[in-house]
Structures are given as C-alpha cells and as structure tokens.
Amino acid sequence: MADTVETTANPESANQTPKTGEGRGVYISTYGCQMNVNDTERMYSLLEMQNFEPVKTPEEADLIIINSCSVREKPVHKVMSEVGTFRKMKEKNPDMRIGIGGCVGQQEKENLIKSQPLIDFVFGTDQIDNLPNLVAKTYSEGGKHVNAKFEHRAPYNIDTLVRNPGVATFVNITKGCDNFCTFCVVPYTRGREKSRPYDHILKDVRELVTRGVKEVTLLGQNVNSYGDRDVDFAELLQKVARETDIERIRFTTSHPKDFNQKLADTMAANGDKVMEYIHLPFQSGNTRILERMNRNYTREEYLEKIAMLKRTIPNVVFSTDIIVGFPGETEEEFQDTISMCQEGGFETIFAFAYSPRPFTKAAKFEDQLPEDVKFDRLNRLFEAHDKMAFEWVKKYEGQTMKILVEQVDREHGKIQGRSTSNKLVHFMGSPDLIGKTVDVRITKAFPAVFRGELIQ
Ligand code: SAH
Ligand code: SF4
Ligand code: F3S
C-alpha cells in the first residue's frame, strides 16, 4: 500500500475524515456461481469508492472477504480452512479485518464468528450495498459485526457495477428463487425472487455497449420466470435484442417448467442476436425422483420441451445439470438419468453427487444413500457421458463457426472465444481481434473445448 496519502486527491473529501480504505488493500476470495462473481465485482466497486485498493493476494491485503457458496459439500468447512490460512497474516497486521459474505454468511450468520474468532464480520446476500458501512464500523469501533437481514420488501433496484467488463459480461435480471427444489439451499440463502425493472436492464446493457461489451448473459436463478410490470422474460429478451446495440445475448439459468413456446419463438425471431444455446438443468431422468425433487415436470414433459425447442430454434445446443444419488434413488432410476443424457443429446453436462443442505426438505428424507454409492454413480455417469459426447462432437470437425474473440489464450500466439452455440474455441490469431467476430474452421473437437484455425 502507498505509505503517503494524498488527501487532496479527491476534492470532495478534502478537509473531511479520510475514507476507510485510505492506505488499505482489499482482497476478495470468490466461490460459487456467476451471481457471486458479479457480487464480488460489486463489492470491489463499492470498496474502491471508499478508497480501498484491490490487491492480488491476501498477503498484501488489510481487508479480506470470503464471498462464499453453500450449494454443495462442506461449505462451512471450506470457509473455516481458508480463514485459518490468514492466521499468521492477521497476527502480523493488527489492522487486518476478515469478513464472510455470500451464501454461507447468509446461512450461518453469527455462528461463524462464534466458531472462528479470526472473523470480524459477516454479511448476508441482501446486504452487499451496506458493506462499506459495515467495514467502516469494524475499523472505527473494532469488535464483531453481523448484518444478514433479508430486505424482503425492498425493490431490486441496483446498477450493474463492473470494473473491467471485457468483451462478454453478465447482467443480473433476477435475484433469489421461489421454486424450493427439495435439494436446494438457494431459496434460503438468496431469499425471495425479485426482478429488476426492465428499463434499468436496458440502460445497463446500453452503457456496457459504450464500454466495448459485445455480449451479455442475462443472469438469474430462474431467468424465465422474470417479470416486471407487463414485461415477461420473452419480452425482455426481445427488448434487449431490438432496443440496444449489443451483438450477442445469452441467458442462464432456465427452468424447464417455465420454458414455453413464446420464449422459443422469441429466440428464433431474434436469432441474429440471441444465441442458440440453452442451459436447461434436468437434474434426474426419472419422474418419481423429479417429483420428490419438486421440479414440477416429468421426464416426458422435459423431453417434449427439448423436442419443441429443436423444432423452433435451428441448430439449438443444450447443456444441463444433473444430481445423482438423490435420497431413495434406485440403480434403475439412476439408469434413467444416463438414458436421458443419450435422448437429450447433451454435449456438456454438469453433474454432482447429492449433498444434503441445511433447511432443505430432502436433507430430512430418511432414505439417504451412502457416499460410496453416490460417487460410484457420478463416476459411471461421467464415463457413460464421455463415450457419447466424444462421438457427438466429431460432427463439428471441419465446420466453420462464427467466433467472438474474448481474450488471449494461455498458449503463446493463440486467442480464444466462443461460438454462437457457446463452444470455447482456441486458435492462432492476433490479440487485435479481441472483440471481433471471426470465422474459424474447427480442426479438433472435444466435448468441452475445440481447436480451430482462423479463416482469413
Ligand atoms: N437455479 C439453477 C441452479 C442452481 S444451483 C437451477 O435451477 O437449475 C446449480 C446446480 O447445483 C443445480 O442445478 C444442481 O444440479 C446442483 N445442486 C444444487 N443443490 C445441490 C445439492 N444439494 N447437491 C448436489 N447438487 C446440487
Ligand atoms: Fe435451487 Fe431449484 Fe431455485 Fe434452481 S430453481 S435455485 S435448483 S430451488
Ligand atoms: Fe452458491 Fe449461493 Fe450461488 S449457494 S451457487 S453462491 S446462489
């Protein structure tokens, strides 16, 4: 950190008490989903306004925040063991403060401070905008502070705060979730579902365009239940496509029960901008398990949605999330999940062994499966899927794809970007191409990543 502080650097703060961050570095460690990545950006932006300087390692920091995730396996343990690694740093630097935010913060509140004295403050997922106040308090008053209130009645009015949006970035459109899938902690850690006003979203996208952004992903736990006044998700998508100059639009995550023909038609009608890729978690291929998960669709209904989407959107590509080893899942029911991969033709899957979460219904089901059964199923699912997917993606070899170049690749001389169908493609090319859409011929296709060559 700078030793000297120029108090006149900011005329507004001249002759006033220096801001909390003056001469202090902040480091945020981020886990979990894209919401958390966006929230971290927001925290950095808010703390920068208090003159904190973002630093790259905890060793350089005076303020450390863990933005935690609680969706699976031992999240409290993960937080505690990371905090443990800061012990020596805190002993050396009495000015150091450690805070926990995100879904574990929301879930555990003061329990975290009780079990780990190195932690100075905890804040919930609805309290990010109050973070500067909370931090100021820990510095001015010392002691321990917790703020994990849900703002149930407050409208969801926030401006997108991203420091370096790059070529492709995320814009929150909803927060929270009201679906209460029986395995999922998110409705408890993120609260009730709320939608941002559509005019705010349009303003954000227009502003991002002026900062060089070419692609936005509209983000929410369940984007297709978006609703603001008379604007539903299909209409929002159409507005973003028609009323802004953004080049590419994606969205995630969609819930199968809310994916209707109107939305599919809107995607097709705006196919020049809305990308032909849908992440549509099915979770289980067996209707009895789906019912116990409270997913509100059957295997047949899910597959009918996929068929409808394939009919409506030419070349649409799907990815999905899957849970194996849900309480009571039999071997036969697990086999239904494997066959669902085959029938749906998912080239990319994100699969997890079921993990009981606090507050959730499924955690109280009596027929929990042993860990070895769950992980054996997970391994068998990945094996079976690999066999299918390596075959399926061969069809892309030799094809030409429109790639939006996002960044330089780690490999020297290469750049990388995404196809309209969300395939990550690496190829030789100049960094000058970042932000441009170029034609690339695919030379090698693996399920998760492609190699290609630039067509000049
Ligand atoms: N809102 C999104 C996803 C939220 S969490 C949706 O509805 O699909 C991301 C994924 O984590 C879920 O799709 C699910 O596959 C997985 N997941 C959630 N809770 C889990 C649990 N208790 N055990 C294992 N996987 C879980
Ligand atoms: Fe969790 Fe279900 Fe909501 Fe997704 S839709 S966040 S899985 S409760
Ligand atoms: Fe994790 Fe919370 Fe996201 S539990 S997946 S950080 S909503």
Q: How confident is the model at residue 55 (pLDDT cuts 50, 70, 90)?
A: very high
Helix H or strand E encompassing 169: strand 168-172
Q: pLDDT digit string (tens) for 315-353?
A: 999 999 999 999 999 999 999 999 999 999 999 999 999
Residue-wise burial string across 308-322, b where 16 or more C-beta atoms lie within 10 A, e elsewhere: ebbebbeebbbbbeb
CA distance 165 to 377: 39
Whether pLDDT at 153 is above 60: yes
Query: Given this model, what pLDDT does residue 163 score?
Result: 83
The CB of 30 under 6 Å from ligand 1? The reply is no
CB 151 within 8 Å of CB 126: yes
CA distance 348 to 341: 10
Query: Given this model, what pLDDT does residue 16 score?
Result: 62
Q: How confident is the model at residue 1 (pLDDT cuts 50, 70, 90)?
A: very low
Whether pLDDT at 287 is above 70: yes
DSSP 358: T
Q: Look up tokens 């505690």; give the residue.
A: 80
CA distance 186 to 106: 10
Backbone angles phi, psi at 246, to 5 degrees: -65, 145
Report the pLDDT averaged over residues 232-243: 98
Backbone angles phi, psi at 278, to 5 degrees: -135, 125
CA distance 366 to 345: 33
Q: pLDDT digit string (tens) for 361-412?
A: 999 999 999 999 999 999 999 999 999 999 999 999 999 999 999 999 988 8
Ligand 3 pocket test, candidate residues 29, 36, 78, 252, most atoms within 8 A of CB = 36
Query: Given this model, what pLDDT does residue 400 score?
Result: 97
Q: How confident is the model at residue 424 (pLDDT cuts 50, 70, 90)?
A: very high
Percent of the chain with pLDDT over 70: 96
CA 102 / ligand 3 centre spacing (Å): 7
CB 247 within 8 Å of CB 214: yes
- Torsion sign (Cα): 311, 313, 317, 322: negative
Whether pLDDT at 65 is above 60: yes
**Domains parsed from the chain with CATH numbers:** 3-147 (3.40.50.12160), 155-275 (3.30.750.210), 397-454 (2.40.50.140)
- Torsion sign (Cα): 170, 174, 175, 181: negative
Report the pLDDT averaged over residues 250-267: 97
The CB of 184 under 6 Å from ligand 2? The reply is yes
Whether pLDDT at 159 is above 80: no
Query: Given this model, what pLDDT does residue 180 score?
Result: 97
Whether pLDDT at 266 is above 50: yes
Report the pLDDT averaged over residues 186-209: 96
Query: Given this model, what pLDDT does residue 448 score?
Result: 85
The CB of 32 under 6 Å from ligand 3? The reply is yes
CA 179 / ligand 2 centre spacing (Å): 6
Atom of ligand 2 nearest to the CA of 178: 3
Query: Given this model, what pLDDT does residue 13 score?
Result: 44
Query: Given this model, what pLDDT does residue 222 score?
Result: 95
Supply the mean pLDDT for the chain. Answer: 94
Atom of ligand 1 nearest to the CA of 73: 23
CA 276 / ligand 2 centre spacing (Å): 23
Atom of ligand 1 nearest to the CA of 360: 22
Report the pLDDT averaged over residues 270-275: 97
Report the pLDDT averaged over residues 273-278: 97
Query: Given this model, what pLDDT does residue 18 score?
Result: 80
The CB of 35 under 6 Å from ligand 2? The reply is no
CB 58 within 8 Å of CB 64: yes
In this structure, the residue with its CA closest to atom 19 of ligand 1 is 184
Ligand 2 pocket test, candidate residues 72, 174, 178, 179, most atoms within 8 A of CB = 179
CA 295 / ligand 2 centre spacing (Å): 9
Ligand 2 pocket test, candidate residues 33, 182, 221, most atoms within 8 A of CB = 221
Whether pLDDT at 265 is above 90: yes
The CB of 349 under 6 Å from ligand 3? The reply is no
Whether pLDDT at 10 is above 90: no
- Compare 345 and 4 and report the one with higher pLDDT: 345
